[in-house]
């Protein structure tokens, strides 16, 4: 009988209401002591240090989920922004290239308009449509023809010098043969000493040549060649080329002289077509005095 009584003795304790009252009073007492004297401040610090790792572990899944969401959102935003910036860059690059082309064209047009107009001829601007598809032909097609009173033989130039000559005229377009066309000849004159000669095309847009010049000719590197005007086609004094290479060999009677065209024969899009020059005076015929022809015929019979 002693054992059951001992078991019942240890299982008996304060009632739940008594426990509640005890702990409420204890809590109020601790709150009063802590508020009045601050005895529990160190205890709270130590307890927070012990609980902090547990709090971080508890909040870690939510933080990881939030960071993963932010990563994917940021990644998608960066990809879209990068694509948008690439498109804007390509668009701006195209506009910049177009602007630079327009600036170059405007600069060349201003140079054309600034050329002095001579009294004996006028000029009208023209735009190049396209170049001849045959790589062995140095020809251009321009956007003016018979409708603009373009005629065969008219001279074409840019702001730097002679480009070529009109060789075919259609109703609305014209064909221009460049001075670099193979065997195309332009009478020229050396500015330095006035020496007259003829420059020929070599079939290359970057080369002209002076042929049949004696080895002893007074030609130097850097000499500028301008039109001489003695053919009645090209106005005098317009720049044509510059001498860049001279080869003299005593074994040959003629020097090999290469020249560089001064005009942009393969660069500019805007050109000038010069009007026809005044016709040259006809060669005078020798007039015989009256009766000279009869005397000439009958002189043998006297």
Q: Is 164 inside any structural domain?
A: yes
Supply the pTM of this predicted model.
Answer: 0.57
Tell me, yes or no, whether 76 and 151 share the same domain: no
Tell me, yes or no, whether 132 and 261 share the same domain: yes
Is the pLDDT confidence value at 205 over 90? no
Paired residues of 260 in beta bridges: 242
Q: What is the pLDDT of residue 298?
A: 45
Q: What is the pLDDT of residue 178?
A: 92
Q: Quickly state the pLDDT bin for 37 (edges 50, 70, 90).
A: low
Q: Is 10 inside any structural domain?
A: no
Total number of domains constituting the chain: 2
Q: What is the pLDDT of residue 302?
A: 41
Encode pLDDT of 4-19 as tens digits: 544 454 456 678 888 8
Q: Is 48 inside any structural domain?
A: yes
Encode pLDDT of 229-249 as tens digits: 887 788 888 899 999 999 988
Q: In percent, how much of the chain has pLDDT > 90? A: 25
Domain boundary pick from 69, 91, 114: 114
Average pLDDT (140-144) is: 91
Q: What is the pLDDT of residue 280?
A: 58
As a whole number, the mean pLDDT across the chain is 79
Q: Is 28 inside any structural domain?
A: no
Q: What is the pLDDT of residue 299?
A: 45
> Where do the DSSP E strands lie in the chain?
123-131, 139-142, 155-157, 162-169, 174-178, 185-190, 196-204, 207-214, 224-227, 239-247, 254-261, 270-274
Domain that holds residue 186: 123-274
Tell me, yes or no, whether 127 and 246 share the same domain: yes
Tell me, yes or no, whether 99 and 175 share the same domain: no
CATH of residue 229? 2.40.10.340
Is the pLDDT confidence value at 291 over 80? no
Average pLDDT (116-141) is: 75
Q: What is the pLDDT of residue 260?
A: 93
Tell me, yes or no, whether 96 and 139 share the same domain: no
Tell me, yes or no, whether 151 and 265 share the same domain: yes
Q: Which long-range contacts (CB under 8 A, 24 or more apart) does 131-138 make?
A: 136/182, 136/203, 137/181, 138/164, 138/177, 138/178, 138/180, 138/181, 138/182, 138/184, 138/201, 138/203, 138/205, 138/265
CB 156 within 8 A of CB 169: no
Domain boundary pick from 80, 114, 148: 114
Tell me, yes or no, whether 148 and 98 share the same domain: no
Tell me, yes or no, whether 138 and 206 share the same domain: yes
Tell me, yes or no, whether 180 and 85 share the same domain: no
Is the pLDDT confidence value at 259 over 90? yes
Q: What is the pLDDT of residue 281?
A: 59
Q: Is 90 inside any structural domain?
A: yes
Q: Is 13 inside any structural domain?
A: no
Tell me, yes or no, whether 243 and 162 share the same domain: yes
CB 93 within 8 A of CB 246: no
Domain boundary pick from 93, 114, 135: 114
Tell me, yes or no, whether 245 and 131 share the same domain: yes
Tell me, yes or no, whether 68 and 209 share the same domain: no
Q: What angle do CA 129, 114, 179 make, to 5 degrees?
A: 45
Q: Is 288 inside any structural domain?
A: no
Is the pLDDT confidence value at 269 over 70? yes
Length of the chain: 302
Q: Is 207 inside any structural domain?
A: yes
């Amino acid at each position: 009988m002693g054992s059951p009584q001992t078991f019942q003795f240890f299982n008996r304790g304060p009632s739940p209401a008594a426990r509640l009252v005890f702990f409420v009073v204890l809590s109020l007492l601790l709150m009063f002591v802590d508020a009045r004297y601050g005895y529990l401040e160190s205890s709270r610090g130590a307890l927070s240090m012990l609980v902090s790792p547990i709090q971080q572990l508890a909040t870690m899944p939510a933080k990881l989920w939030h960071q993963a969401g932010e990563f994917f959102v940021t990644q998608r935003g960066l990809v879209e922004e990068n694509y948008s910036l690439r498109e804007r860059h390509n668009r701006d690059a195209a506009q910049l290239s177009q602007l630079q082309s327009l600036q170059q064209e405007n600069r060349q047009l201003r140079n054309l308009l600034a050329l002095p107009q001579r009294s004996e001829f006028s000029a009208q601007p023209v735009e190049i449509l396209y170049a001849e598809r045959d790589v062995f032909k140095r020809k251009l097609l321009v956007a003016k023809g018979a409708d603009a009173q373009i005629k065969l033989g008219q001279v074409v130039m840019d702001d730097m010098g002679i480009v070529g000559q009109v060789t075919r005229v259609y109703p609305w377009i014209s064909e221009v043969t460049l001075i670099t066309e193979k065997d195309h000849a332009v009478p020229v004159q050396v500015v330095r000493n006035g020496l007259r000669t003829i420059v020929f095309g070599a079939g290359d847009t970057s080369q002209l040549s002076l042929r049949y010049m004696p080895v002893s000719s007074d030609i130097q590197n850097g000499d500028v060649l301008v039109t001489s005007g003695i053919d009645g086609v090209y106005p005098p004094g317009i720049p044509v080329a510059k001498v860049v290479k001279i080869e003299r060999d005593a074994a040959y009677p003629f020097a090999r002289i290469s020249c560089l065209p001064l005009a942009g024969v393969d660069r500019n899009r805007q050109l000038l077509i010069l009007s026809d020059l005044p016709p040259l005076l006809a060669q005078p015929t020798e007039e015989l005095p009256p009766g000279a022809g009869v005397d000439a015929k009958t002189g043998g019979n006297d």
